[in-house]
Structure 1
């Protein structure tokens, strides 16, 4: 019996997605580790940052802005309320509706977490020149916009 050779296929590393995933995994895992030291997940950080500087906001508005379901926002908010970082209040316009806002503790924590995000970016992308970094950012943003990738990258 003669052995049939399988057809040639491209190597894993021949795909841009492979390299993008390799960078993304390392950047994301390092940032998640930094946040873990502060008792916050990446998804929680994203909600905290989205609420920062905003008046009390309905969960439905946050869900639309972040590209998440209202149920996912509620779960995140419940965890952050449990950590005393977010407050749930009755809407000033409709007593049946609720809004979410940062607690004073949450307001104080966001700049500290933003500094961790900035440091993480510097650690991974600081090796690029300003021009290279601007080009990478422009290309990635264009891909996101052209492909209508509206969901916030949280995992």
Structure 2
């Protein structure tokens, strides 16, 4: 007697991965047209409407290493979107903040995130979108997931 092996499609994880890949790749393509990666967008968004912030604090909030934040920051500095400067409180420490260009650019990128979400989930009612968000956020909390999904 053979044991039944479930189909891939019998698992919620299969469906979550299908949707996640589609949403993520669609957003990554939209950002690529603007010469920004998803990870760079994450850091830009963290800095938007915020006082200058220590890279170590950003690393903690984003659940990234300090080295990863430094690499992201270096790329965004090269693009003129953020600046690294001495801390106002401690001149030995450094902070990151958006440049004027970065502050103008962030809302346009946020609009791309909104457009991507609409394209992917417009078929759901507002109540279904709220329910899906609630279910997923409860699952994230139950699993203790803290790392910002940037890849």
TM-score, normalised on structure 2? 0.97
Q: Partner of 2:16: helix, strand, or coil?
A: helix
**Residue 110 of structure 1 pairs with residue 110 of structure 2:** no
Structure 2 residue aligned with 1:149 = 145
**Residue 125 of structure 1 pairs with residue 125 of structure 2:** no
Structure 2: stretches of 5+ with no match in the other structure: none
Task: Please give the root-mean-square deviation of Cα atoms over the aligned residues, in Å.
Answer: 1.0
Number of equivalent positions: 151
Structure 2 residue aligned with 1:88 = 84
Distance 1:129 1:104 in 2: 37
Structure 1: stretches of 5+ with no match in the other structure: none
Which whole-Å deviations, capped at 9, do the CAs of 1:21-42 have from their partners, x for residues lacking one? 0000000001000000000000
TM-score, normalised on structure 1? 0.94
Structure 2 residue aligned with 1:62 = 58
Structure 2 residue aligned with 1:44 = 40
Q: Pick the aligned partner of 1:12 from 8, 11, 14.
A: 8
Say which one has the larger Rg: 1
Which of structure 1's runs of 4+ aligned residues deviate more than 3 A? none
| 1:143 positional shift | 0.7
